[in-house]
Chains A and B, each alone.
Chain A
Amino acid sequence: MNNHLLFDFNVDKAAKTIFITREFNAGLSLVWDAFTKQELLDRWAAPAPMRCKTKYMNFEVGGRRFYAMISPEGQERWVIQEYTSITPKTNFKLHNAFADQDENPELPGSEWDHNFSEQNGVTTVNISIFNESLERMEKLSDGFRKGYILMLENLEELFATLAQEL
Chain B
Amino acid sequence: MKQDIFQAIADPTRRAILTLLTIQALTPNVMAEKFDMSRQAVSKHIKVLQECELIKPVPSGREIHYYFNVKKMQEFDIWLAQLKQNWETQFNQLDELLSTIKEQKI
Contact = CB atoms under 8 A, between A and B. Distances in A.
Given A2-B95, A133-B4, A136-B4, 12 more contacts: A9-B84, A13-B9, A14-B15, A16-B10, A24-B94, A26-B99, A30-B102, A34-B94, A34-B98, A134-B5, A135-B4, A138-B76
A94 B42 CA distance: 39
Given A2-B92, A46-B90, A135-B76, A25 B98 contact: yes
A15 to B, nearest CB: 8
Q: Which size class do A's interface residues fall under?
A: 20 to 34
Contacts of B80: 11
Interface centre among A20, A46, A47 (most CB of B within 10 A): A47
Nearest to B101: A30
Interface of B: 4-7, 9-10, 15, 52, 76, 79-80, 82-99, 101-102
Interface of A: 1-2, 5, 7, 9, 11, 13-14, 16, 18, 20, 22, 24-26, 30-31, 34, 40, 43-48, 133-136, 138, 141-142, 145
B97 A16 contact: no
Contacts of A46: 90
A7 B88 contact: yes
Nearest to A43: B97
A34 B96 CA distance: 12
Contacts of B15: 14
Q: Taking chain B's interface residues, is the majority helix, strand, or loop, or is none over half, making it mixed?
A: helix
Contacts of A133: 4, 6-7
B17 to A, nearest CB: 14
Given A133-B4, A134-B6, A7 B91 contact: yes
B86 A1 contact: no
Contacts of B97: 34, 40, 43-44
B69 to A, nearest CB: 14
Nearest to A131: B6
A30 B95 CA distance: 11
B93 A48 contact: yes
Nearest to B91: A22
B6 A25 contact: no
